[in-house]
Chain A
Amino acid sequence: MKRPEPVQVIKQRREGLLRALVEGVPYIGFLGVQFDRRGDELTAVLPFRDSLIGNPRLPALHGGATAAFLEIAAVIELAWSSLWDGVEAEGALPEGSLRLPKTIDFTIDYLRAGLPRDAYARARVNRSGRRYASVHVEAWQDNRSKLFAQATGHFLMPNPEAGA
């Protein structure tokens, strides 16, 4: 029987894939979005900062910041889950730069005001074909069962041959 890989090798590879997806995108850094990984499960985290405020009178997170956070969570989950099997089987990241899926449309449902504190999001790929994918994403703050926003988006998958 094949010996299982050392845990550090596995962790390094998975963290490497996550970093390769996230660190190349300036806007993810601009918003301050981070990803918490447990095995193949990703949770996007939006640490609160004053520049995310939309309505200073409440104060509440800007709907646009919430939309961007959900879209980032959806795109990274989609790219991550589409690359996972290959990276695990090969034991290495794919050659060349990683292309992210492109958003076709994105519909955000605002359920309650975003409070001035950290927010979390998890995305689920409902359908992923060769060209198109549909992803649902849910975001919460204090209670996982009390979502403050959810969204569904359609994405165009990168074409590996054309590099597009």
Chain B
Amino acid sequence: MSDPETTARSFINSLPHCHALGMRLDSIGAGWAAISMPYDARLIGDPETGVIHGGAVSALMDTACGAAVMCHPAAGVSTATLDLRIDYMRPATPGQTIRTRAECHHVTRTVAFVRAVATDDDDARPVAMATGAFTVDRGSK
């Protein structure tokens, strides 16, 4: 039986799409996860302003939400997204790392309800917020 935080950390680091986007697991705890994505010109959505594409922010938030579920003590070893809503509140400032923190706010036997906030260097004004439902797979821990 391994430490679930260690499992989650190594699992996220092994995800090819997260690796391709340059995501890094910053910290993780019971039912929450913080993941960041450094600025990268390949992820630009608006060439005139250099702002990162919303799709890359979606991928970051989806990953953070999934990680939060995997390290919740009542959830389990793997999870899948059922639905995810993302509100884009302002463009992320070009050149800055985007950080997101996701938290399970309720977990039932079958579903985890998760919320996430993404910020750049100005952490008082969120760049995006996400709300999602994720599957709970208790598996064999």
Contacts and interface: CB of A to CB of B under 8 A. Distances in A.
Contact of A52 (B16, B80, B83): B16
B62 interface: yes
Nearest to B47: A24
B86 interface: yes
Contacts of A25: 44-47, 53
Interface stretch (A35-43, A83-91, A100-108, A133-141): A100-108
Given A27-B43, A107-B84, A68 B15 contact: no
A28 B30 CA distance: 35
Given A64-B59, A97-B48, A110 B87 contact: no
Given A26-B42, A52-B17, A110 B56 contact: no
Interface residues of B, number: 38
Interface string B43-87: 111111000111110111111001000000000001011111111
Interface residues of A, number: 40
Nearest to B21: A64
B55 A31 contact: yes
A53 interface: yes
Given A25-B44, A25-B45, A27-B45, A71 B16 contact: no
Contacts of A71: 53-55, 58
Contacts of A67: 55, 58-59, 62, 84, 86
Contacts of B48: 97, 99
Nearest to A100: B46
Nearest 4 CB-CB pairs, A to B?
A64-B59, A68-B55, A62-B17, A27-B53
